[in-house]
Amino acid sequence: MNRFPEQGRSREEVLAALGDHRSRDLKGDGRAFAFVYDAGEPLRELAREAYAACMPINGLDPTVYPSARKLENAVVGACLELAQAPEGAVGTATAGGTESVMLAVKAARDYARKTRPQVTRPKMLLPQTAHACFHKAAQYLGVELVSVDVDPVTFRANVADARAKMNPDVILVVGSAPSYAHGVIDPIEELAALALEHGALMHVDACVGGLVLPFMRDNGEAVPPFDFSVEGVTSMSMDLHKYGFAPKGVSVVLQRTRALRDAQYFACASWTGYSIINSTTLGSKSISALGAAFVVMQHLGREGYRAQTRAMWDATKRLVSTIESTPGLRLLARPDMNLLAFTTEPGDVFELADRLTECGWHVQPTYAFGPSPSHIHVTLDPGNSARVDQFCLDLGKCMNELPARQSPPEHVIAMLEAIGSAEAGLDPAALMSELGVSDGQLPTRSGSIHRLLDAMSPAARERVLVQFVGELFS
Ligand SMILES: Cc1ncc(COP(=O)(O)O)c(C=O)c1O
């Protein structure tokens, strides 16, 4: 199957092969509390139609495909309005949250090169709870990270720590609205004031919250200021492929000024081919997800998003109250939105995740880092909201006689630490068999794997995961 076919196969045969490959994928049926942002079949069908209609478009050249420009301007314009951007603010459609964040960091770096040439080692103040894609941006773009502590109870960025770590090389301060793991909004006003005071830029990562928080505010919830209404916020990221309910592959990065966005662009006329001007990292690019985002946004309207947001927030409150009233469960932080983290005390959190999997749910087991203990993360979409009462019942059942936290055998941790710290010497096939992975899938009961990875240092875990994924794709 992994060979280039000598002879073509019939349409039915190849589509059947595709269906077969997809048969064990995570389903968008309201039972997955991660990865899926789904608002039901009618919207999915609408998005599918728009997606297919946009397939011939190459977003590389919006002068040849005016629809690419019109769709982008419509979606970006609507997002600027949601984010209360001032006159003169601009934006770009990207392929996802990671790309939006990477472009915001690139723009900040190149803007500083121009306006603050004395900065030779650019740095970014980054709360421990900010998404890993900022680490990726730092690594790719040569911007140094300065880690900012978070409060161990609220999991919001500690502004005093940010202030203590501020220095003349800081070009960018980051805050999340909200953070992915715990669903809490950083003190954006204070962080932005700090950035402004020191001539740094401020990015608000609203990848997951950008299309929910404005509607929560509309619904009368108390949402702290987190967008361009805050002086000092210079850029924002908002994902349409999350709570915009568009298919994967579309987000926006927004900038307060056009000069800042100019620093994001890449132009090249120094070769023998066509002169290039790219707003994003890709050259030729699909506009399909953007086209789908456009129709979904126009179809739902503010009214539709408000209704979806209300349902998700009601469900979140029911789940929070179940967690708080169930002995042995502990909510890590009070969430500001419909995603949250909880753990077990003294039970084994990875055993609980296995039991929930056996009940047909998909949750996200997450490892300890800094003040955040190992936990289960859940992100609620409208599909989950309709099933949350059943989830709460199953959660209660799964807590019955939950065994105490088990430690992985010392010798196995030592072996994995050794693997993780060695430059080479890991047999990836042996790793897969040690972990019980077959045909690229974790076993249903994968608690023992999570306990092992959780016990490792982050650096060793990163190296083991590189080998793991390398083996999946070999
Ligand atoms: C707050 C936040 N930022 C950035 C990202 C990265 O987005 P993506 O996975 O679309 O690249 C995520 C993804 O969950 C997120 O929640």
How far does residue 207's CA lie from ligand 1's centre (Å)? 6
Which has the closest alpha carbon to 445: 375, 365, 344? 365
Query: Tokens for 235?
Result: 């850029």
Handedness of CA 75, 78, 84, 85 (dihedral sign): positive
Q: Is 471 within 8 Å of 432 (Cβ atoms)? A: yes
- Tens digits of residue pLDDT in 230-239: 999 999 999 9
Tell the residue nearest (CA) to atom 2 of ligand 1.
Answer: 207
Q: How many CB atoms lie within 10 A of CB 272?
A: 4
DSSP code, position 232: T
Tell the residue nearest (CA) to atom 4 of ligand 1.
Answer: 97
Place of tokens 């140094």: 144
Q: Ligand 1 pocket: which residues have CB below 6 Å?
A: 96-98, 101, 131, 133, 176, 180, 205, 207-208, 239
Which has the closest alpha carbon to 43: 298, 296, 308? 296
Coil, helix or strand at residue 57: coil
Contacts with 273 (C-beta within 8 Å, 6 or more apart), sequence order:
none
Which has the closest alpha carbon to 383: 310, 301, 308, 317? 308
Q: What is the pLDDT of residue 417?
A: 67
Tell the residue nearest (CA) to atom 7 of ligand 1.
Answer: 97
- Tens digits of residue pLDDT in 436-450: 787 777 887 899 889
Residue ranges of domains in the chain, CATH in brackets: 51-295 (3.40.640.10), 302-398 (3.90.1150.10), 410-472 (no CATH)
How far does residue 125's CA lie from ligand 1's centre (Å)? 18
Q: What is the pLDDT of residue 409?
A: 75
How far does residue 209's CA lie from ligand 1's centre (Å)? 10
Residue 178 Cα: closest atom of ligand 1:
1
How many whole angstroms separate alpha carbon 291 and alpha carbon 302? 18
Residue 176 Cα: closest atom of ligand 1:
1
How far does residue 411's CA lie from ligand 1's centre (Å)? 36
How far does residue 99's CA lie from ligand 1's centre (Å)? 9
DSSP code, position 205: E
Which amino acid, residue 71?
A: L
Which amino acid, residue 167?
A: N
Q: Is 311 within 8 Å of 385 (Cβ atoms)? A: yes
Residue 180 Cα: closest atom of ligand 1:
16
Per-residue pLDDT tens digits of the chain, which is 474 residues long = 689 999 999 999 999 999 999 999 998 889 999 999 999 999 999 999 999 999 999 999 999 999 999 999 999 999 999 999 999 999 999 999 999 999 999 999 999 999 999 999 999 999 999 999 999 999 999 999 999 999 999 999 999 999 999 999 999 999 999 999 999 999 999 999 999 999 999 999 999 999 999 999 999 999 999 999 999 999 999 999 999 999 999 999 999 999 999 999 999 999 999 999 999 999 999 999 999 999 999 999 999 999 999 999 999 999 999 999 999 999 999 999 999 999 999 999 999 999 999 999 999 999 999 999 999 999 999 999 999 999 999 999 999 999 998 887 777 777 666 766 665 566 777 777 777 787 777 887 899 889 989 998 899 899 889 988 888 888
Query: Tokens for 214?
Result: 């404005």
